[in-house]
Amino acid sequence: MMVESNVTLEGETLLEVLNSTSKFQVTSESLENHEVIIETSELVAECLLTADDTNCSCSSGFVWSNAVCDQYQCCREEHCTGNVSYTTPLCIPKVDVRISGSVHIEGTWTSSHTITLENEFEALNAMRYVNVTSYRSSLDLINNIADFEVAVNAEMNSSKLQEILTALQSNLSAQIFVDTKGLVTIEGPEDKVCYKSTPEITCTFDEDLEPAAWTLTKENMHNELNNGIVVQLSHSCTNTPTESCSRITLKEVTSLWAGTYECAFSTGSIRHTASIELQVSQLPDEIPVVHNPLTIDCSSADLAPVSIEATVPNTTEDYTVWWSNVGVKQSDVTPTTEGTNLVYSVAAEINCKDPKVNISITFKNTKEQEKTVFVNIPVVKAGDIACPEELFEGQVWPKTPDGETAVNQSCPPGRVGNKSRTCKGNQWKPVFPACIDEALNKLSDTADNFLKGLGASQEVALHIFEGVKNSSLSFTSESSDNTADISSIINVFTKMEKASEQTELNEDTLPDVIGTTSNIVNISWTGVENEHVHHMAGNLLVSLEGLVKNIKVNTSKGENKDIISENLHFKVCTVHPCNTTVFGTEVKVNTTTSITYMGVKNLMPKLNNNFKIKSTPHSALLSATVKFSDTPLQSKILFRKESNSKNHFCVYWDVSEMRWSDDGCVVSSIHDNGTICSCSHLTAFSVLMAEGAIGDPVLDIISNVGLGVSICSLLIFLIIEYLVWQAVVKTNLSHYRHTAIVNIAVFLLLGNISFLAASEPETISDTVCFVLTICRHLSYLAMFCWMLCMSTMLVHQLIFVFSPLRKRVFMYLSSILGYVCPILIVGSSYIYYKYTKTDYYSKDTCWLVFDSILVGSMHAFLLPVGTITLANLFSMVVVIVTLLKTSVPDSSKADDKETAKGILKVVLFLTPVFGITWIIGFVQLILGNDHPYFKLTAYIFTILNSFQGLFLLITGAIAESKVREELIKLIRGQSRGTDNSTKKLTSTMYTGDK
């Protein structure tokens, strides 16, 4: 607020007046009166105007605004003599803004460079000082670097700062990068958060810039943050008024996530940053426990001593720790320090009469949160079947009961983990190795953090894959230690495959992935049972296929990618059709998008060969991956002859079942060169409303059975309508209804026949495929248009009871809507896609094409159907509301029950007639093929809509009293057509029918 006076007015006097006034009236420029309430008052600036002279000054704690600085060059002066009194705002509160940067310059930094630096930053409003803080050489020893800091008491916009930096880069012939602090607002938890809580940190900035980048700094390590299973980034905060906003949500934080969080909005050579410290109340993420002895022998004693040690990382958290026996707290445990760990030791005595060992150690933090680890020690009792104590490979395996596993925590130097051995009956099974290389263990931890979103960057991914490749180079001989390391590498691949769904990996990672895989499959995986080998091989194949699918390969130039190693051949094909050879296997897949092939040698023997017929697998395994396809894949593969076996089977690896399956794959032909396999999946009915083919054999069966039943039902329905037509269309309303429902049945019948005829697209010609697409498109659109005619007629009759619809008007309008509109939509959409030289239909599905949202010919079906379905749903609601209004407010419970029955009948009768079930198809489309509930919605949609003809027969004929009565009379030979009785539902729904 600005106050003007013709006499000298002291600011303090004005404040006293304002402080004594809680509210007053003001008049705006438009002469409107407003009441102003004063909550707080503070003197910002004072101006003294004498004749043409002006002298203004800011109060303590305020500086000149940027507008005053830019227009009147009053930037740091205490008094401003420019005519600034009408500038708004005149003064602004002081803020502490720091600009820290570095100048990369050739040659030596001199005092003249410092003067140039200072002179340029003088243009900033409220600039306090410029300090050159240090000099150093760059890592390449080519440039010298001068670090500097600028302190400013006013905010500035990025464009102003960038102008200064651009001028400096030109004047100094240097590169300059700066960070600002004080311009970005950051908000987050001020107090220590609980273990496994989900805190949020939000950064806001007043300019519209690119999304912020986040880092976490702890123990002098800077880690980039990206989306993962813990980190969730959002760059659109709906509850903030600022131009730029970024929010990080951390799911179930542990001590790993304590540290300093920094957000940075970047533009040009400027990073606007803010940071905040996040404190996490800690509990051990893992509590490794060792016990001595490894097993307890109670065969000849009543009590057995045991020592237990729990080791956790040292921390600033003040843990309270105690141990319990059989659920009863025994005593607190005081730790000892060993290096960077805390060791909690317990000396316990086991009662051999207890059914099992029940010892636990509990940790409690300062937030009263607890974490308990239970100690499982095998116990041998008198009469138990057990494996005897044995010295094996320098390690003692104690007497262990049948079915239990003894775990030995000792590993060779340079390796971490354990070895375990299971007793079966009274015989020891082989030692299971889980001691892995320390370097691999660190890489596994890094991959685990990457999956969580910590350090999830391309550089870290390259480091991980390079590290596992270097480790795999040492696998020159077969040993159980190698198998443990290979298992760890596969575990790293699995984590990185899951992480690649969130963080994009580029093709630079491919050579290391391919090299590592080639190395680890080149040797036998010994020292473990076959079951574990099968499990490792299955996980390797799944993770490889996921990585190959998610790693972004640059195919912008249309060039094929081809990387080959001893045991793995990787190829990306961008030409169509793509006929290629991978490890001697010729393959052709009919897809219109790029396809990735992966051939792997020496992995087949390691996979579980539990095919229904005993057989020997081919030496090479072939994988084909398409990132997106709107068609079911049809593939033909020639496997070169490797044996003289007369029986050949074409199979694929079922990921969910971890076994070979021949579903959808058949032997096309066998000749001297080898075996040709043809793999395909029939088109499911739900393809009508999906982005691509589902490829589910069960859906195929449901679709075919449902369509067959519907076709038979519709034929029966049309015959019944023909027989009873004269008897049931006595009134205009009944004529309208039966005309609409007959048209619905006819077009549904034509659509279902066309769909069934196109269920195997590979067996029909392109011309027939095109005709069937047109028939389906036209038939289903016409069906929905007649559904709209019926619902519109019903709503009109309910609302305009005393203005019945004339027959001629109904027939004229419904003919246009039911016949002309579908023809226009289908014809115009075909002409449009032919004119734009894009595909109107897919030859692989004989149906319309879906490319993306609002792109593709399928929208010539989706948009009209969606609009009509919503209109029909509205009509159903109108009918239900009308039924509710007809019930008397003080009606009895019996009347309420009848009303509820009426509503239920409305829903059951109108849902198939109005096509309401097709809404599920839109839900399926929104979910997308990768959603966990996609398959469920596909099943529901297929069942409801493939049997739609049956539902129409039930609701339109069998459940319709007039039709049913006339049909019975025909059967009995007594048709008179004089019975006008109707059910309450019919009379309510079709007013004027009686």
Q: Tell me the mean pLDDT in the region 951-974.
A: 80
Confidence (pLDDT) at 762: 65
Confidence (pLDDT) at 983: 32
Share of the chain above pLDDT 90, in %: 38
Confidence (pLDDT) at 908: 63
pLDDT higher for 831 or 793?
831
CB 772 within 8 A of CB 688: no
Closest CA to 76 of 112, 117, 113, 130: 130
Tell me the DSSP string of 901-950.
Answer: HHHHHHHHHHHHHHTGGGHHHHHHHHH-TTSTTHHHHHHHHHHHHHTHHH
Mean pLDDT (the chain) is: 83
Does the pLDDT value for residue 975 go beyond 80? no
Share of the chain above pLDDT 70, in %: 86
Q: Which range, of 315-329, 560-574, 645-659, 834-848, averages the lowest pLDDT?
A: 645-659
Confidence (pLDDT) at 726: 85
Q: β-strands 175-181, 270-278: how paired?
A: parallel
Tokens of 314: 């040292």
Q: From the CB of residue 774, how many other CB atoms can be counted at a distance below 10 Å? A: 16
The upper half-sphere exposure of residue 787, i.e. CA atoms within 13 Å in the direction of its Cβ, equals 33
Does the pLDDT value for residue 273 go beyond 90? yes
- C-alpha distances in Å from residue 501, one per residue of 498, 504, 543: 6, 7, 12
Tokens of 224: 């980039």
Does the pLDDT value for residue 40 go beyond 60? yes
Does the pLDDT value for residue 642 go beyond 80? no
- pLDDT tens for 291-314 read 999 999 888 888 889 999 999 999
Tokens of 881: 């509301």
In this structure, what is the dihedral angle of CA atoms 939, 944, 949, 951, given to the nearest 10 degrees? 150
Cα separation, 493 vs 471, whole angstroms: 14
What's the pLDDT band for 682 if we cut at 50, 70, 90?
A: very low
Closest CA to 133 of 173, 181, 98: 98
Tell me the DSSP string of 146-160.
Answer: EEEEEEESS---HHH
Confidence (pLDDT) at 993: 34
Confidence (pLDDT) at 910: 67
- pLDDT tens for 366-424 read 999 999 999 988 889 888 899 999 998 888 899 999 999 999 888 889 999 989 999 99
Confidence (pLDDT) at 29: 77
Confidence (pLDDT) at 683: 30
pLDDT higher for 38 or 744?
744
Confidence (pLDDT) at 636: 64
- pLDDT tens for 184-199 read 999 999 999 999 999 9
Cα separation, 509 vs 494, whole angstroms: 15
For the chain, how many residues are written? 994
Q: From the CB of residue 459, how many other CB atoms can be counted at a distance below 10 Å? A: 10
What's the pLDDT band for 989 if we cut at 50, 70, 90?
A: very low
Q: Which range, of 20-34, 467-481, 516-530, 816-830, averages the lowest pLDDT?
A: 20-34
The SS3 call for residue 861 is: helix
- pLDDT tens for 375-390 read 988 889 888 899 999 9
Q: Which range, of 228-232, 460-464, 855-859, averages the lowest pLDDT?
A: 855-859
- pLDDT tens for 111-130 read 999 999 999 999 999 999 99
Q: Which range, of 139-153, 712-726, 927-941, averages the lowest pLDDT?
A: 927-941
Q: Which range, of 119-123, 450-454, 605-609, 633-637, averages the lowest pLDDT?
A: 633-637
Non-local (6+) Cβ contacts of 16 within 8 A are: none
Does the pLDDT value for residue 734 go beyond 90? no
Non-local (6+) Cβ contacts of 736 within 8 A are: 790, 793, 805, 807, 810, 814
pLDDT higher for 288 or 672?
288
Confidence (pLDDT) at 471: 92
What's the pLDDT band for 898 if we cut at 50, 70, 90?
A: low
Does the pLDDT value for residue 494 go beyond 50? yes
Confidence (pLDDT) at 687: 37
What's the pLDDT band for 342 if we cut at 50, 70, 90?
A: very high
Non-local (6+) Cβ contacts of 158 within 8 A are: 207, 209, 267, 268, 270, 272
Confidence (pLDDT) at 644: 60
Confidence (pLDDT) at 874: 86
What's the pLDDT band for 692 if we cut at 50, 70, 90?
A: very low
What's the pLDDT band for 992 if we cut at 50, 70, 90?
A: very low
pLDDT higher for 468 or 240?
468
Whole-prediction pTM: 0.65
pLDDT higher for 981 or 595?
595
- pLDDT tens for 160-177 read 999 999 999 999 999 999
Q: Is the peptide bond before 401 cis (omega within 30 degrees of 0)?
A: no
pLDDT higher for 525 or 983?
525
Tell me the residue type at 473: L
Tell me the DSSP string of 751-768.
Answer: HHHHHHHTS-GGGS-HHH
